[in-house]
Structure 1
Amino acid sequence: FPTLNLLQSDKSTLTVDQWNLLSNLSHCYDEYSGLSVGERFMLEQNVLPFKLRFKQEPIKQLIQMSLDKCQLLYKNNQDFLSLSAVDRSILLHDTFNYTAGVSASLIIYKIQLMDYPIYYDVIEMLTHPSVISVAKRLADRFDFDGIIVKLFLAILSFSTTHYTVYSNNPPINLSNIKEILRIQDTYIELAWQYLLYKYDLKQAVTCLSNFIKCLFAIHEAVIKTHDIQWLTDTISSIVIQIEQTLTLN
């Protein structure tokens, strides 16, 4: 348990409650299950003849499976589960594009698929040529510590910022905005304290800056792919699955 090891050698200013929250967060979202899917994909591709590797359909399926792994972030987070059903639904619909985009990008980055030029050719065919520059910016900046990514994902999952895609659905107000803002502040403070624990001030600022730049890239990708049917259908299906699971529980 890496978080326990960190706690045992703690020289930071994090409180015991913050370490406990970090431990809970670390266990509620298991990035390794997503990485195992990605690693299996790479193994399967590498045994194929060169001309048959990294075709559209397998990469499309990898993206879909990677997006699906982000469900755990919502299903297992006790702060999220403590909110009303209405507020959970609003946050889920508003943030899943971002969190799933970051989560899937992390998996694809970690398995080094972004190192292959053919990956960008396939992304262009699956989405839109303008997405290529976004994908390359992500590849240049996505080298984050796993715990830091989880913290950033938690912050995003409680974000009340709407991305810039017009919708015919009327806006619905959150019923307990004060509690959601409190949770946001808690994770933001925890993320900053952890960055200062792991890095010096300059490195912490650089890491935070790089993640913000990645978020801008994800934001741009959301806008540019909002009319890609297979992708929007995939995300909608996952969101419905999460809502159904939360309702049953």
Structure 2
Amino acid sequence: MSVLNSLQSNQLRLSIHDWNLLSKLTYCYDENSGFSLAQCFLQQHNNLHPKMRYKLTRLSELFLSFIGRAEVFFENNPHFNSLCSHDRSILLHNTMKYVGGLGACFIIRQTGLLNDLTIFKSAEIIYGSGILANTMRVISQLNFDSTFFKLLLALVVFSTFNYTYYTNVAPINLKDTTTILHIQNMYAELAWRYLIYKYDDERAVVYFSNFIRCLFSFHDVVIEAFEMKHCKDMVKSVIEQTKKTIALTE
């Protein structure tokens, strides 16, 4: 039994390749810039006269910038860049709403942005009480360290489903689903090994379960949010900007 445990332990250790991949992920998505942006906004917000704090346009632009931070995750991910233009375009269109939205929620959680009552009320005016309540539930579930969270975003980038809402546009199939699923599995296995390395088996299971629960919760947010033209336009603008940045053609 001790030999078996030793073998299992060795298999779950992070290799040099794993550490290199984690390092690249950290480079891909630097959440600190989003934190700084939120903190700067809070400071400026608190310096305003109370009557001037309900500026909805400024808050919308801030949330858009949070979602836009996901651009670098696509731009700098070597596995994403290794795919053909066709598949990169489909993944970008299908997953940006998740990657950008979850990234925005993580920044909001870490900075406590919505703890400010006037900002919360302004967000409620923009998005409605239902969407905001569901978003707050997602934010409360994002109790992950930044490295594990980036691994989760990588998993989402290579998700092959897109059943968020009904559309009259026929779905376009991926050309190399096998490779994409292989990349997704690689990130899933790395996420598991990372959790075992940092925590233990029991907590690893809890964290993965929480991630799945969080993803389902955010799925509900996206469905509701995409009923609003404003939200759809926000994601669309980020997608179009990302396509220009990575020189992606249809």
TM-score, normalised to structure 1, is 0.89
Rounded to whole Å, the distance in 1 between the matches of 2:194 and 2:80 is: 21
Partner letter of residue 95 of structure 2? Answer: T
Partner letter of residue 115 of structure 1? Answer: N
Counterpart for residue 45 of structure 2 = 45
Please list, as runs of the form range in 1=range in 2, the aligned pairs for 1:86-235 lying within 5 A after superposition: 86-235=86-235
State, as a whole percentage, how many aligned pairs show the same letter.
Answer: 38
Q: Decide which structure has the larger Cα Rg and report it.
A: 2
Bigger drift between 50-59 and 237-246 goes to 50-59
Partner letter of residue 164 of structure 2? Answer: T
Please state if 1:34 is matched with 2:34. Answer: yes
Rounded to whole Å, the distance in 2 between the matches of 1:82 and 1:211 is: 27
Rounded to whole Å, the distance in 1 between the matches of 2:113 and 2:135 is: 11
Partner letter of residue 189 of structure 1? Answer: E
Please list, as runs of the form range in 1=range in 2, the aligned pairs for 1:51-62 lying within 5 A after superposition: 51-53=51-53, 55-62=55-62
Counterpart for residue 16 of structure 1 = 16
1:44-79 CA-to-partner distances (Å, cap 9, x unmatched) read 112123443354222211101111111000000000
Rounded to whole Å, the distance in 1 between the matches of 2:99 and 2:248 is: 23
Counterpart for residue 68 of structure 1 = 68
Rounded to whole Å, the distance in 2 between the matches of 1:113 and 1:35 is: 10
CA contact (8 A) 1:34 1:107 kept: yes
Size of the alignment, in residue pairs?
240
SS in 2 for 1:165: coil
CA gap of 1:213–1:115, structure 2 versus 1, over 3 A, is: farther
CA gap of 1:139–1:118, structure 2 versus 1, over 3 A, is: farther
Can you give the 5+ residue segments of structure 2 that lack an aligned partner in the other structure? 1-11
Rounded to whole Å, the distance in 2 between the matches of 1:207 and 1:30 is: 22
CA gap of 1:203–1:217, structure 2 versus 1, over 3 A, is: same
CA contact (8 A) 2:85 2:248 kept: no
- Aligned alpha-carbon RMSD (Å): 2.0
Measure how far apart 1:121 and its partner are.
Answer: 2.8
